[in-house]
Amino acid sequence: MEVKELDANASDCTRSTALTWAAYKRYEEVVMILLELEDVNPNHIGPQDDQTPLMLAAIARDEGVVKILERNDVNPEEEGSLCGLTPLSLAAQRGDEGVVNMFLERQDINLDKCGFLDGRTRLSWAAVRGQQGVIKMLLERMDVHPEQSDTEYCKKPLRLAAGKGPERVVKMLLERKNLNPAKGDTAPVGSATRAWGGNQHAFGTKGCQSRPCRHLPN
C-alpha cells in the first residue's frame, strides 16, 4: 500500500490547518514542532474571521506563542478581513503590554498605520481605551506621531482621549513635546475619498472604530 506524504498545510472543512489550531489553542510545543517543517505556511489565513496564526495567538493573549511565531517568517501587519485589526492594534486596544513590546522590537512595522476598517492608529486605540502602559511605550518611540488622525472621523489621539479616556491619558499625551493641543483634527491624505465616497464609512456605520469587533474578546 502506498503511503501518501503528509501535507502540513492541509486544511480541514473549516479551512483550519494544524498550525492554525495549535496557535488558537495555545499549544506552544506543537507550534514549535510544526514551524520546524520546511513547507509549513506560518501566514495561513484561518477560519476565525480570516485570521493568521499570529493574530489568533494575539487574540488568546498568549505571549509564548506570539514570540515563537515572530521568530519565523510571519507577516505582523496582516489584517483580519472582518475586523480590520492587526495583531499590534488588537494588543494596543486591550492593553497587552507584553505582546505590544514584542512587536515594538521589530523593524518592519509602521506604528502610524491606520486599520483599513477601524481607521485608527495603534496610539489612537490605546488612547480611546485608556491603556496607559501601552501609551507610555508608544510615546517613547520617535516614529510614533501623536498628531496622526484616524481615517474614519479624522480625530487625533488627544481628542479621543479627552472624550473617553482617563485624565492621566490626556496628561500623558500633552507631555509629548511635539504635540500641539491647539491644532484641530485634520483628515489624513486620501481620507476624503474614503469619508465621502458613498461607502458609509464617514459615519462609522460599518467600521469597528468605536468598539472591538464582536468576534474578538475584550
Confidence band, pLDDT 50/70/90 cuts, at residue 182: low
- Does the pLDDT of residue 145 top 60, yes or no? yes
Using a cut of 0.85, tell me whether the model's pTM lies above it: no
User: What are residue 6's phi and psi, to 5 degrees?
Assistant: -75, 130
Residue 25 lies in a domain: yes
Of 68 and 15, the one with more pLDDT: 68
Give the least confident one: 57-61, 99-103, 148-152, 202-206.
202-206
| Residue predicted with more confidence, 85 or 209 | 85
Compute the distance between CA of residue 66 and CA of residue 68 in angstroms, rounded to an integer. Answer: 5
- 83 and 154 in a common domain: yes
Identify the domain containing residue 61 by its residue range.
15-75
Residues 71 and 83 in one domain: no
pLDDT (mean) for 116-133: 88
56 closest CA partner among 29, 93, 5, 16 = 16
Is the distance from CB of 58 to CB of 212 less than 8 angstroms?
no
State which H helix or E strand residue 87 sits in. helix 87-94
